[in-house]
Each structure stands twice: as structure tokens, then as C-alpha cells.
Amino acid sequence: MSEREPTPAPDSTAGAAGSGSGTAADVHTSADVAHDAGIGTDLDLAADAVTPRGPGSGSDLDVAADPASGLRGPRAEAGPHTADAGSGDAARLRGRRSKGRLAPVLGTARLHLRQTLEDEGFLPRNITRGQRALDPSGAGPLKMLVALSGGPDSLALAAAAAFYARGGMFQAGAVVVDHRLQEGSAEVAERAAAQARGLGLDPVRVVPVTVPVTGDGPEASARTARHAALEEAARDTGSHVVLLGHTLDDQAEQVLLALARGSGTRALAGIPRRRDFHGGSYLRPFLDLRREDTEEVCRAEELEPWQDPSNADPAFARSRVRTVVMPFLEDQLGPGVADSLHRSAHILAADAAFLDAEAERHFSALAMTSEDGAIELPEQGLRDLPEALRVRVVALAVTALGGSPSYERLQAAVALLKRQGSAGPVQLPGKVSVHRLPRPKGARRGSGEYGKLVLRSTGGRAADAGLTGQG
């Protein structure tokens, strides 16, 4: 008996854009906020990482990868059986509807994981099961961790990762972060860890964390604590990849929330498929799968997922979107709303990436850091930029100083360019001030003394933008 491995379609591509921790999408970065603020939001659009989810236009990958299924799609190749030692016939049959037949959804899930790893450069193209991938340094085997909550999304992702790990392609473990915010959370965490060990993941860690009470709210505080625990575990185990289980449904919910908050291109692009952290990367391979797919994977793998009660708690906006708004839209507009929202996010992600890259390029060319740590942006250089880039460049300067550029405050800062003489300061969240320094008398147009916007941290932190001497 053999386990079948899906062969990736050579011409298919991954869409734009979870964590399997079970509450929502881990999407917030300071750069994202800076970029998005320039086009319309002052909110942290990070979704809580409890229930994570891609483009719903009918992905080429969202098909069964098993020829026995009778469905058209990427062919499956037979590979050597690599069941865990001592696992027995029950483990060897896991994931099969009948003897010798792979449940089609398992091939789909595995294919999405593999193609994401290939698209992001962590796996070489056309590597075969049995071959071992190396880490980015080439010094050892590729290692990764699954962020596991015990919910269906992260359990399904753990099962897909375990399939390749059993075949020796890479090493995969799991981290269960216990936020200790609900009664019985320790037992939930241990059950999730036990199922990960049963799949063959190693190492498997349960990490209790303390979620501080902050002005950012419980979801944001929990996300910060969770990310710190995941990244520390990645460093301790030498893992370069942390896999998160967000799905297409999470993506659709994220886009709806962004629309309701008056957000811009970056937030409407939804949950990114990849986000780097110091020493590694978060990847979300299931952004093209539906929540029902991950539930079906769990049934096929005979896993018992935990259903987080907070996902149905109307106290949370995301829960209301999931349980009330999305069903209402599907009822009134017909099926396919989630797919359409995800497709829109995929389209906008490409636009946002281009604008962000252009803004970074202009910021590097224009910004100067003074001796006292202030960032100076020449007025004429900013005025020469299209509005979309002008606002983003100022937002990058605010972020470099540790600020959080809300939409309204950022617009007020950019409006200083329309003033005559000295103007400001405008205060931005994160203790950053912006003022306009007029052109000195006699200064030539285009000279370094021409008018400029000066951004300064008022919280005692000097800018660490690495820009001194540029201009």
C-alpha cells in the first residue's frame, strides 16, 4: 500500500494573501498599517488567529489530486509508503475512503502546501517525495512548525505537513500556544498536541503565554503574545517557516471588515500569503481552500478538531461577520460571495504590492535623517509624486520613527504641503510630530535648503531608518 503524493501543476500559481490558532487572521504589520493609512484606514486590521483562510475565482489547484477520484486535475504519483514506525494498519489507511484510495480533499490540501513552499522558494521545483529539501543556508534540512490551535484549519494543515515530513522532504513540528483566556484551555492545548504527535510531527510544544491587558484590545494583545511565542519556538528549533491555517473564508471576512472600516488598497488586499519575521517567515498555504475543505480533511484523517466558542461570540465583530453577515449576503446575493471577495483581494494585492514597492523606492531616494534623528522629506520631491505615492512616502517616514499613521492624521500631515511659511506640528499616534519647514530666504529652488516636511519622534526614540546620508 502506498501513500499518494499530488504532483503540482507546472503552470498554476498561488493567489495573494492563516494561523491555525483558531480565532482569525494574523495580518498586522507596522509596514502594512503605514501603507494602508495612506489610502484610507487607521485601524489594526489584523484578524485574530483562531480561525484562519484564497482566490475564489476557481483556482486551478482546487481540484482532487487523485486519479481514482474521477475528477480532472493534477495527476497523483505513487510514492513509497512511509508510515510512522509502529503505527500499524490503521495509520497506513489514514486519509483513505477505501483500501488504496486517497480522499480527494487530501490531495488538494497537500498540493496547496507544496505549491506555496515552492512558490516562496523554500522547496525546489519538482522535488520528489523521498528527496530532502535544505534550509535557506543549505547547511541542514528544511525545518518548519505548524501553528496549531486544535481547530480544523490548523489540524488539516498539520496533517498535510506530516505527510511530507513522513516522506523525508522536510522536518515538521508543531507549536500550540495556550493563551489561558478560556477555562479548560490547557486541556484543549494538550489534546491538540497529542493529535500532532499522532500524525508524526516532531517536536511538538505547548507554550502557555500571558496576554497583557493593553489599550489595543484582547485580540491584538493575544496576537502579539502568540507571535512572540511562535517566533521564539522557531528560533529554538532552527525552523525557517511557521505555517498558519487561514482559509478563503477568513480572507473574505477580512475584506468585509476592511470595507466596513473604510480601508484602502493594502487592507482590502486581505491576508498576505507570506509575512517575514526576524529569522523566518509565516506562510499561509490554505488561502485558496474553504473552511469546509479543512473540516473534510479532518474527517478523512480521523482527527477530532476543537471548535473555539469565541468564533460564535457576537461580542466580536469578526464572529458577527462569520455567523450573521456572510450567511445573509449569501442568502440575498446568491452563493459565491466569499469567492468573489477573495478574488477582489487577490487583484488588489498585486496593485498594493506595486504601489508599496514604488513608495519604498521614492522614500529611499528622498528621505534624509538629521543628527537628532528626525527624518526630512523635501517638499518639492513630495509634490512631484502622485498622491497615492506621496501619502505612502510620508506614512513610511512615520512608521520608521515608530509611529502609527492613522488616515485622518496622515492626511493632516500631508496637507502641510499646501501651507505657506512654517506650519504644524501635526501629532500622529505613536508620538510622532510633523511640521513644515519653509524655504529660507534666498534659497534656490531645488536646493537642499528648499522647504521640507520634518518628522520627529517625541517619545524619546531616535529613528532607526538607516537613511543618514541618503538624499
CATH of the domain at 373: 3.30.465
Q: Taken in order 146, 150, 151, 155, is the CA torsion positive or negative?
A: positive
User: Is residue 297 a part of any domain in this protein?
Assistant: yes
Number of domains in the chain: 2
**3-class DSSP state for residue 172?**
strand
pLDDT confidence band for 43 (50 / 70 / 90): very low
Task: Give me the numbers of helices (H) and strands (E) for the chain, helices first please.
Answer: 15, 15
Which pLDDT score, from 0 to 100, does residue 164 have?
A: 96
Look at residues 319, 348, 377 and tell me which one is the last residue of a structural domain: 348
pLDDT at residue 116 is higher than 60: yes
pLDDT of residue 445: 56
Confidence of residue 291 (pLDDT cuts 50, 70, 90): very high
**How many CA atoms lie within 13 Å of 438's alpha carbon, on the beta-carbon side?**
10
Question: Which residue has cell 507544496?
Answer: 114
pLDDT at 466 > cutoff 70: no
What one-character-per-residue DSSP string does 212-245 give?
---TT-HHHHHHHHHHHHHHHHHHHHT-SEEE--
Top-confidence residue, 77 or 387: 387
Residue 443 pLDDT more than 60?
Answer: no
> Which range has the worst mean pLDDT, 181-185, 251-255, 323-327, 394-398?
181-185
pLDDT bin (cut points 50, 70, 90) of residue 13 is: very low
CA 2, CA 78: separation in Å to the nearest integer?
7
Closest CA to 171 of 129, 143, 134, 146: 143
**Are 457 and 434 contacting, i.e. CB atoms less than 8 angstroms apart?**
no
Indicate whether 33 pLDDT > 70. no
What's the residue count for the chain?
A: 471
Sheet with 423-428, strands from edge to edge, namely 368-369, 375-378, 452-457, 432-437, 423-428
* Burial per residue of 369-406, b for 16 or more beta-carbon CB atoms within 10 angstroms, e otherwise: beeebbbbbbbebbeebeeebbbbbbbbbbbbbbbbbb
Are residues 230 and 34 in contact, defined by beta-carbon separation less than 8 angstroms? no
Q: What is the rounded (10 degree) CA torsion for 222, 227, 228, 233?
A: 130
Which of 77-86, 228-237, 449-458 comes out lowest in average pLDDT?
77-86
Q: Is the dihedral of CA 460, 462, 463, 469 positive or negative?
A: positive
- What does pLDDT average to over the chain? 78
pLDDT given for residue 404 in this prediction:
84
Q: Is 80 exposed, middle or buried (0-12, 13-18, 19+ CB in 10 A)?
A: exposed
**253 pLDDT exceeds 80?**
yes
Mark whether 8 and 98 lie in a shared domain.
yes
Residue 356 lies in a domain: no
Among 144-158, 159-173, 441-455, where is mean pLDDT lowest?
441-455
First to last CA, the chain: 65
**pLDDT for 266 beyond 50:** yes
| Residue 302 and residue 451 share a domain | no
pLDDT at 296 over 90: yes
Please report the pLDDT score of residue 21 as a whole number: 39
**Whole-number pLDDT of residue 444:** 58
Q: Is residue 355 part of a domain?
A: no
Task: Let me know: does 284 contact 18? Beta carbons within 8 Å.
Answer: yes
Q: How far is the C-alpha of 254 from the C-alpha of 441, rounded, in Å?
A: 51
Minimal CA–CA distance to 69: which of 19, 126, 108, 38? 108
How much is the pLDDT for 219?
80
Separation of alpha carbons 365 and 386, rounded Å = 15
8 A C-beta contact, residue 221 and residue 234: no
Average pLDDT of 139-160? 96
The pLDDT, as a whole number, for residue 69 is 31
The reply to whether 464 falls in a domain is no
Range in 258-262, 271-275, 336-340, 435-439 the model is least confident about: 435-439
Alpha carbons 18 and 68: distance in angstroms, whole number? 30
pLDDT band at 421 (very low <50, low <70, confident <90, very high): low
My answer on whether 164 and 311 are in the same domain is yes
pLDDT for res 10: 35
397-418 pLDDT tens trace: 999 999 888 889 999 999 998 8
Q: Which domain holds residue 184?
A: 4-348
Q: Within a domain: residue 463?
A: no
Is the same domain home to 47 and 161?
yes
State the CB neighbour count (10 A cutoff) for residue 454: 19
Residue 273: pLDDT over 70? yes
Determine, yes or no, domain membership for 471: no
**Statement to judge: residues 306 and 403 lie in one domain:** no
d(CA 219, CA 317): 11
Q: What would the mean pLDDT of 207-212 be, rounded to a whole number?
A: 92
Q: pTM for the whole thing? A: 0.73
pLDDT-derived band at 430 (thresholds 50, 70, 90) equals confident
Whole-angstrom distance, CA of residue 338 vs CA of residue 321: 11
Question: Once rounded to an integer, what is the mean pLDDT over residues 242-253?
Answer: 97
Question: Do residues 332 and 380 both lie within one domain?
Answer: no
Do residues 344 and 371 share a domain? no
Of 314, 348, 382, the residue at which a domain comes to its end is 348
Question: Is the residue at 221 inside a domain?
Answer: yes
The more confidently predicted of residues 287 and 38 is: 287
Grid coordinates representing 168 are 523525508
Is 78's pLDDT higher than 90?
Answer: no
**Torsion angles phi and psi, residue 335, rounded to 5:** -65, 155
Same domain, 151 and 236: yes
Which residues, including other chains, have CB under 8 Å from residue 238's CB and lie 6 or more apart?
135, 140, 143
Q: What is the pLDDT of residue 17?
A: 33
For residues 399 and 453, state if they share a domain. Answer: yes
Weakest-pLDDT range from 17-21, 242-246, 283-287: 17-21
Cα separation, 66 vs 69, in Å, equals 6
Task: Give the confidence band of 338 by pLDDT, cuts at 50, 70, 90.
Answer: very high
Q: Are residues 427 and 332 in the same domain?
A: no
Give a yes or no: residue 362 inside a domain. Answer: no
- The pLDDT assigned to 257 comes to 94
314 plus 387 within the same structural domain: no
Is the pLDDT at 371 greater than 50? The verdict is yes
* Residue pointed to by grid coordinates 500556544: 177
Check which CATH number belongs to the domain holding 109 and give it.
3.40.50.620
If pLDDT is split at 50, 70 and 90, which confidence band does 61 have? very low
Query: What is the pLDDT averaged over residues 21-31?
Result: 39
| In a shared domain, residues 319 and 176 | yes
pLDDT band at 128 (very low <50, low <70, confident <90, very high): confident
Asked if the peptide bond before residue 425 counts as cis, ω within 30 degrees of 0, the response is: yes
Domain C-terminal end among 318, 348, 378: 348
Mapped onto helix, strand or coil, the DSSP state of residue 424 is strand
SS3 266: helix
Sign of CA dihedral 103, 106, 112, 114: negative
Coil, helix or strand at residue 199: helix
